[in-house]
Amino acid sequence: MSVDPDRAGKRWSVRRVPPDLERAYIDGGFWTDDTLGAMVARQLAAHPASTVAIWSRSRGWQGSYAAIDEEARRLVTLLQEMGVRPGDSVAFQLPNWREAVVSFAALALGGYVLVPIVHIYGRKEVAFILEQSRAVAYISPPAYGHVDYEAIVEAAAPGSLRLHVVVGGAEAPPSSRGLARIGWAECTERTPAIDLPRVQPDEVAVLAYTSGTTSDPKGVVHDHRTMLSELRHMKHWLDPAKPNLMGSPVTHATGMIGAVLGPLAIGQNIHLIDRWDPAHALEVMLEAGIGGGAGASVFLASLLDHPAFTLAHAARMGRVGLGGAPVPVALAERAASHGIAIIRAYGSTEHPSTTGCRFDDPADRRHRTDGRACPGVELRLVDGNGADVPAGSPGEILSRGPDLCLGYTDPALTAAAFDDEGWYHTGDIGVLDEHGFLTITDRAKDIIIRGGENISASEVEEALQTLKGVAEIAVVAAPDRRLGEHACAIVRMLSGAAPVTLTDVTVHLSGVGLARQKWPEELRVVDEFPRTASGKIRKIDLRAWLRSEAGDATGSRISPSGSWTGR
């Protein structure tokens, strides 16, 4: 079965990789004719007895790669019968359940453009993603936690969406907007697909949406070559004999790559947990004889902090890779005190593995730097004029490599972030030492990384501008011992207005439908903001004050006007 070129994921205007780089990636073996679907099919067949375990208190499941392969092929048949054709975009928004792994495998096997949506995204984000990605089908539960997915779909703007596959719950109810709605159980009645489509390696494989400096999520475009290049980096950090319990969601870039694609690429057993509960995770680690704590630093910190953590857990962890959020040096040193070796890595949805340490690097470098450039990756640090800075001096990080995305679904964002030589302007500030080890020191991009999840400060600010009595607001990253960072809202009130409370803020954001993980967890009220000569709020100063306060053991507070109040 071949794919219609007009539907092969070429509906987005992606950047042109410079010919010399393209040739270098091909000659270096990074870019091949392999595809995501071919790799998934090959690995599922090569390791049929490898297992997938879903550690859920409500939807636990254990089965083999062979079982995942069969169910995924049944889902491909179902989608084909419902008129979803290869090259169409298919969104899936699921917790770490069996169906999330099956959906990932099925969409790759079926030649579809995968559109994973983090399961805690609310109606604002989901409606935008479904429309912009031109998703034809959407896979989700009826609801999960506080998010009602069926209501989101019913209220979303009319677009290309015409099929909703509902996982779990009662029989799928009819749609009031004429949307075809079918229950996941229908898969069992289908015959597994055998004739799978042939796709080209330069066709779009994944649209990974991430919150960043824009109010709406950014659609990051990866083709088969960039996705599979990332797996070469993952293999350096994974041990087939030592799987980890992973809490990062399959529908987030870190979970998709680290919890499913990476293990699948080496035939490793996959262990997922749908709700990160440290007590439950510690129980699972002992029962299954596996490690834990990999991913964002919040996972490791929560295990070490829990009273049930023992030497038996530490022995099973051994080595832990951390990335996706800031890694405090104190956390690394605390892990080392338990005999746990950690490595830090730096990347993004756009460029998943930019730098990383190795476990044989000296502990001081593993604890205090984000490692050296990964194979095939190039780095530059530049000043405000675009000139290279010397070693040891801070500068904006520019990167390029075989796993770098092809841009964004929004051409304007692509033009702003990528130059003609193929460099990605990350907006992150770092320092390179004389040995090539990178340390991230700040971010020019206005985002908060909370437990590995990107939060757009401007999106939260926009939602809070209509809060009664607020004259001006800035949302910035505040240090968080457990999550790495959380959002702090700093507000200046209108003259005579009573100061708002954190409760006022959360009630307001709930009303506008902003996802809960984006809500500020801290509130400060100031008389005035620090500003640039042009009057712009100096957020770099706000972040510095919050870091200074967090590190001040005396509890004294630092502010531009001496007027920090609230909590």
Q: Which stretch of DSSP H or E encloses residue 415? A: helix 411-417
What pLDDT shows up at residue 328?
79
pLDDT tens figures, 523-558? 999 998 887 655 678 888 898 899 888 764 323 233
With beta carbons less than 8 A apart as the criterion, state whether 223 and 203 touch.
yes
With beta carbons less than 8 A apart as the criterion, state whether 470 and 495 touch.
no
Nearest to 91 by CA among 53, 70, 121: 121
166 phi-psi bin (left φ>0, alpha ψ -120 to 50, beta other): beta
Nearest to 428 by CA among 414, 436, 438: 438
Alpha helix segments (H runs only) across 47-197: 65-81, 98-109, 123-132, 149-155
What pLDDT shows up at residue 547?
87
Alpha helix segments (H runs only) across 12-110: 19-27, 36-46, 65-81, 98-109
- How far does CA 63 lie from the centroid of its chain? 26
Which residues are CB-neighbours of 20 under 8 A, at least 6 positions away? none
Residue with the two structure tokens 């593993």: 366
> Above pLDDT 90, what percent of the chain?
65
Q: What is the mean pLDDT of residues 177-204?
A: 93
Residue with the two structure tokens 């809490």: 247
Task: Give the predicted TM-score (pTM) of the model.
Answer: 0.83
Superfamily of the domain at 447-550: ANL, C-terminal domain (3.30.300.30)
With beta carbons less than 8 A apart as the criterion, state whether 116 and 208 touch.
yes
The CATH number fitting domain 5-19+36-228, selected from 3.30.70.380, 3.40.50.300, 3.60.150.10, 3.40.50.980? 3.40.50.980
Compute the distance between CA of residue 514 and CA of residue 2 in angstroms, rounded to an integer: 41
Give me the amino acid identity at 466. T
pLDDT tens figures, 109-133? 999 999 999 988 888 889 999 999 9
Question: DSSP of 334-391, one letter per residue?
Answer: HHHHTT-EEEEEE--SSSS-SEE--TTS-HHHHHH---EEPTT-EEEEE-TTSPBPPT
> Rounded mean pLDDT of the chain?
89
pLDDT tens figures, 320-355? 999 877 787 888 999 999 999 999 999 999 999 999
Compute the distance between CA of residue 402 and CA of residue 227 in angstroms, rounded to an integer: 9
What pLDDT shows up at residue 553?
31
Q: What is the mean pLDDT of residues 46-70?
A: 97
Which residues are CB-neighbours of 465 under 8 A, at least 6 positions away? 473
Supply the angle between the helices 36-46 and 65-81 in degrees, to the nearest 10: 140
Domain boundaries, the chain: 5-19+36-228, 278-443, 447-550
**pLDDT over 50 (residue 81):** yes
Q: Which stretch of DSSP H or E encloses residue 231? A: helix 224-237
pLDDT tens figures, 138-172? 999 999 988 899 888 888 777 899 999 999 877 77
With beta carbons less than 8 A apart as the criterion, state whether 150 and 123 touch.
no
pLDDT tens figures, 219-259? 999 999 999 999 888 877 888 889 999 999 999 888 899 89
CATH number of the structural domain 278-443: 3.40.50.12780
Same fold, 5-19+36-228 and 447-550: no
Compute the distance between CA of residue 316 and CA of residue 212 in angstroms, rounded to an integer: 35
Nearest to 121 by CA among 99, 100, 95: 95
Nearest to 340 by CA among 373, 303, 298, 289: 303
